[in-house]
Amino acid sequence: MPTEVLTTPRAEQQIGRLSRKRSKVLENFLNDLAVGGCRALAYRQRPSTRRSCMR
């Protein structure tokens, strides 16, 4: 299910510290998440927090 992907200031701090290689991995994950939602990469949506996905 297509999903809107958001970030937070705290997450952006952490993303900003990633190496180029890890940033690329994250970009790919975000793309999969936007297209497939939590089912991308075998995650599932957490019922209690509408916008979080958990393994």
Partner 1 sequence: MTIAIEERRVRSLFDRVEAVEDVARTLPEDDERRAKLLEVTNAALADEGTIRPVIAARLLGLSEKTVRAWAAQGVLTVAQRAPRLVLDVQSVHLISHIVRDLRALGKDRDLLDEVWRRLSDAALLARPDLLESVEQMRRGEGRVLRPLRQNGAAGH
Of positions 23, 25, 31, 41, contacts partner 1 by CB under 8 A: 31
Q: Taking the CB of residue 8, how many other CB atoms lie within 10 A of it?
A: 8
Of positions 6, 16, 20, 47, contacts partner 1 by CB under 8 A: 6
Of positions 18, 25, 35, 41, contacts partner 1 by CB under 8 A: 35
Q: What is the DSSP letter of 2?
A: -
Residues that bind partner 1 (CB under 8 A): 2-12, 14, 30-31, 33-35, 46, 49, 51-52, 54-55
